[in-house]
Amino acid sequence: MSGKITGISGPVVTTDMQGLKLNEKVSVGCGKLTGEAIRIEKAQAVIQVYEDTRGVGLHEPVTATGMPLHVRLGPGMLSEMYDGLQRPLERLLAEQGPFLIAGKEVDVLDYSRTWKHVPLKSEGDTLLQGEFFGYVEEGSFRHYLAYPTSSQSSRGDGKRPSKRRIASIKEGAFTLGEPLGTLDDGTEFFAWHDWPVRIPKPFKKKATSNEPLITGQRSIDLMFPIARGGTAVMPGGFGTGKTVLEQSIAKYADVDIVIYVGCGERGNEMADLIEEFRVLSDPWASKPLMERTVLVVNTSNMPVAAREASIYTAVTIAEYYRDMGFHVLLLADSLSRWAEAMREISASLEEMPGEEGYPTYLSSRLAGFFERAGVVETISGRNGSLTMILSVSPAGADFTEPVTQACLRATGASLILDTSLAYSRHYPAINWNQSYSLYTTELSEYFKEKVAEQWPALQVRCREILQKEESLKEVIEIIGVSGLQDDDRLLITIAEKIRTELLSQNAFSDDAFSPPEKTFSIMERIIRFYDMAESRLKNGEPLEDVLKEGGTAV
């Protein structure tokens, strides 16, 4: 099937081609740019082009591929860096040099690499869709290979997918180009399969989790904990520390697999991240960090439409690992750039704009994306989780703008990054008054049992101290700290300790990673000191003496 280009505007191309399907992948122009059909009308189809359309001309050919925009899932993705369309950037570099040239097709997976297949099934066994037939060892991971489900039935409800018998299955060394076996109807199956990015991978059912995802950041784990399978956003103006926080979490989070999306942000940051991840090791499993990481990178100067796709590419890869029973963490920096990409495309389509020019489907798209997080029982009967922690970059650091608002409505935890905290070099600049986590209560049992009985109680006290400090602030502004009563001065001193010793964490020091035990012991030390100091004050000792052992007066 093919047609011709009839119009071009920014990343959007119209064609006279008939018979396209919605979301079908197409090849556009003489340069064979990748595109996706996003609107189909009687006489024409509208295509979103994922590469720079400069130089594309009228009447150039458009060809259908018969497939929806998809990712290829299989062994070898770990430690890769892909662009928004899952093109491996390292291999592109080797093939075309340091600059990205449009229209280049490169294999997503490495077909020259040899793997060792260990079958879990044998000839004559039945094979259900979504069931594992074998595995390969990928680094320290057991990478399970599933017979793919059909993407038509995206819900894992009652309708059992069809059942097949294995006619032959291969064992031992193979490369990805070879089939690993055949079914009784003659179809071959491989170690990889394709999956349309815009369709969530199916699962049996969703579950709730009372287990936290430990991030190693005290102000998160202690004050605003995130549940496995949960969603968290961190909105903050420029320079408030979103990227540093995302990257710190990528390094230290207690998860199996990390998918990191650099969405419309800086190239230098990605260079930095790769350099670091190559040398650092996973604090939970002592192996190189890169081995548990997949990067999806579409920097701000790469094509805008591919930025839109990058989030879907990443979440589909994340679901793939979730289905093997892994705990997966999806980090994206920044979701706002994704929303802006949608806005640019929507403008080229001349759609009726909603608030601030964003398309009216902004919040439903965002909500649909967040829904792909969760703890699930997989089709193969395992338990996996997909947690999302996403940065948001509000225009003018104004949190009332539509993207921030849509995110706040749809996610479970919100870590508000504060410009004034960042200016005073308090990092991470998480505002302790405005941030919240809806998971706090359900996770407190876990911390009580696994870390310390006192965890929730002391956490509440820290909060109270910070709140009291806040209410004293106005008074201080009028009379100065020295005008306060001694007990209030003590409280201010303790609050400062909580802020600087407990909540602050320098990402470039040894303190960058704080396991829960360390977090607890810092908190306990501060509160114990407070209790001691308070009782000595009551006994009439002067504040200066009381503070001598454990900190100076403010």
Partner 1 sequence: MRLSEHSYRTVTSLAGPILFLENVRNAKIGEVVNVKTGEGRNIEGEVLSIDRGKVLIEVYGESQGLDLGHTSVVFTDSVKKIPLSRDIVGRSFNGSFEPIDGLPMYIPDRYEAITGVPINPASRSGPEEFISTGLSVIDGLNTLVKGQKLPVFSASGLPSREVVAFILKHATTLAAEKNFMVIFAALGLSFHDYSFYMETLQQMASGYTAFITMADDPVMERLLAPRYALTVAEYLAFEHDMDVLVIMTDMTNYCDALREIATARKELPGRRGYPGYMYSDLASLYERAGRVNGKSGSVTMLPVLTMPEDDITHPIPDLTGYITEGQIVLSRELHQKSIFPPVDALPCLSRLMNSGIGKGKTREDHRIVANLLYKYYAKGRKLRKLEAIIGREGLSSDDRVMLDFADGFEKHFIHQGEKPRDIFQTLDEGRNILAQFSLDLP
Ligand X SMILES: Nc1ncnc2c1ncn2[C@@H]1O[C@H](COP(=O)(O)OP(=O)(O)OP(=O)(O)O)[C@@H](O)[C@H]1O
- Judged by the rule CB under 6 A, the positions of this chain that interact with ligand X are 236, 238-244, 265, 393, 427-428, 505-508
Q: Which of 229, 254, 234 is closest to 246 using CA atoms? A: 234
Residue 53 binding target from ligand X, Mg ion, partner 1, none, CB below 5 to 8 Å by type: partner 1
169: helix, strand or coil? strand
**CA 378 to CA 417: how far, in whole Å?**
35
Rounded to 10 deg, the angle between the 242-252 and 267-279 helix axes is 20
User: What residue 398 binds from Mg ion, partner 1, ligand X, none (CB within 5 to 8 A, per partner kind)?
Assistant: partner 1
Nearest to 120 by CA among 109, 130, 134: 134
Q: In terms of CB distance, is 367 or 512 closer to ligand X?
A: 512
Out of 275, 517, 531, 545, which residue is the one contacting partner 1 (CB under 8 A)? 275
Residue type, 320: Y
Amino acid at 140: S
> 59: alpha, beta or left, given left = phi > 0 and alpha = psi -120 to 50?
left
Residues 73-112 touching partner 1, rule: CB under 8 A, are: 81, 89-90, 92-93, 97-101
**Closest residue to Mg ion: CB criterion:** 243
Number of Cβ atoms within 10 Å of the Cβ of 548: 11
Minimum distance from residue 478 beta carbon to partner 1 (Å): 7
Of 238 and 361, nearer to Mg ion (C-beta) is 238
Report what 240 binds from Mg ion, partner 1, ligand X, none; CB cut-off 5-8 Å by kind.
Answer: ligand X
- CA 174-130-257 angle, 5° bins: 70
Name which of partner 1, ligand X, Mg ion, none residue 304 binds, using a CB cut-off of 5 to 8 Å depending on partner kind: partner 1
The partner in contact with residue 423, picked from Mg ion, partner 1, ligand X, none with C-beta cut-offs of 5 to 8 angstroms by kind, is partner 1
339 binds, among ligand X, partner 1, Mg ion, none (CB under 5 to 8 A by kind): none
Partner from ligand X, Mg ion, partner 1, none binding residue 357, C-beta < 5-8 Å depending on class? partner 1
Q: How far apart are CA 375 and CA 211, in angstroms?
A: 10
Minimum gap (Å) between residue 333 Cβ and Mg ion: 6
Report the SS3 class of residue 28.
strand
Contacted entry of Mg ion, ligand X, partner 1, none for residue 241, CB cut-off 5 to 8 Å set by kind? ligand X
CB of 334 to Mg ion, least distance (A): 7
Task: Kindly state whether residue 514 participates in binding Mg ion, applying the rule CB under 5 A.
Answer: no
Q: Tokens 């802020």 identify what position?
A: 499
Structure tokens at 478: 């009028």
| Cα four-point dihedral sign 309, 311, 317, 319 | negative
Under the binding rule (CB under 5 A), the answer on residue 243 touching Mg ion is yes
Burial code (b: 16+ CB inside 10 Å, e: under 16) for 359-377 equals beebbebbeebbebbbbbb
Q: Which one of ligand X, Mg ion, partner 1, none is in contact with 14 (Cβ closer than 5 to 8 A by kind)? A: partner 1
- To ligand X, the closest distance from the beta carbon of 414 in angstroms equals 15
- Contacted entry of partner 1, ligand X, Mg ion, none for residue 542, CB cut-off 5 to 8 Å set by kind: none
Give strand ranges (E) for 306-382: 327-333, 374-377
Binding to partner 1, residues 203-222 (CB under 8 A): none
Largest CA distance in the chain: 90
254 half-sphere exposure, CB direction, 13 A CA radius = 16
What's the CA gap between 123 and 294, in Å, rounded? 34
Least Cβ distance, residue 531 to partner 1 (angstroms): 27
Q: How many Cβ atoms from other residues are within 10 Å of residue 186's Cβ?
A: 7
For residue 246, the minimal CB distance to partner 1 (Å) is 14
Say if residues 351 and 408 touch (Cβ distance below 8 Å).
no
Give, as ranges, the residues between 355 and 394 that touch partner 1 (CB under 8 A): 356-357, 393
Does 8 engage in binding with partner 1 (CB under 8 A)?
yes
User: Which partner in Mg ion, ligand X, partner 1, none is near 353 (CB below 5 to 8 A by kind)?
Assistant: partner 1
Selected range binding partner 1 among 198-206, 311-319, 338-346, 455-463, rule: CB under 8 A: 338-346
- Beta-carbon contacts of 474 under 8 Å, excluding residues fewer than 6 positions away, are none
Partner from ligand X, partner 1, Mg ion, none binding residue 9, C-beta < 5-8 Å depending on class: partner 1
Site for partner 1 in 458-517 (CB under 8 A): 477-480, 482-483, 508
Tokens of 223: 């004050």
Should residue 15 be labelled a site residue for Mg ion when binding is judged by CB under 5 A? Answer: no
Closer Cβ to ligand X, 147 or 427, answer by number:
427
CB of 243 to partner 1, least distance (A): 9
- Among 434, 435, 260, 394, residue whose Cα is nearest residue 331: 260
Alpha-carbon Rg of the chain, whole angstroms? 26
Q: Identify which of residues 143 and 242 has a Cβ nearer to Mg ion in the complex.
A: 242
DSSP line for 398-441: -TTSHHHHHHHHH-SEE--B-HHHHHTT-SS-B-TTT-EETTHH
DSSP state of 540: T
Please, which residues have CB within 8 angstroms of residue 300's CB and are 6 or more apart in sequence? Answer: 264, 265, 266, 337
**Which stretch in 235-243, 278-286, 321-329, 492-500 sits in contact with partner 1 by CB under 8 A?**
235-243
Chain positions 12 to 71 lying near partner 1, rule: CB under 8 A, are 14, 53-59
N-to-C CA span, the chain: 76
516 close to 447: Cβ distance less than 8 angstroms: yes
Show contacts with partner 1 in window 129-188 (CB under 8 A). none
- Residues contacting Mg ion: total by CB under 5 A: 2
Whose Cβ is closer to Mg ion: residue 24's or residue 401's?
401
Q: Of ligand X, partner 1, Mg ion, none, which one does residue 344 interact with (CB within 5 to 8 Å by kind)?
A: partner 1
Instruction: Note the residues at the interface with Mg ion (CB under 5 A).
Output: 242-243
Instruction: Note the residues at the interface with partner 1 (CB under 8 A).
Output: 6-10, 14, 53-59, 81, 89-90, 92-93, 97-101, 237-239, 262, 264, 266-268, 270-272, 274-275, 297, 299-302, 304, 337, 340, 343-344, 347, 353, 356-357, 393, 395-398, 423-425, 477-480, 482-483, 508
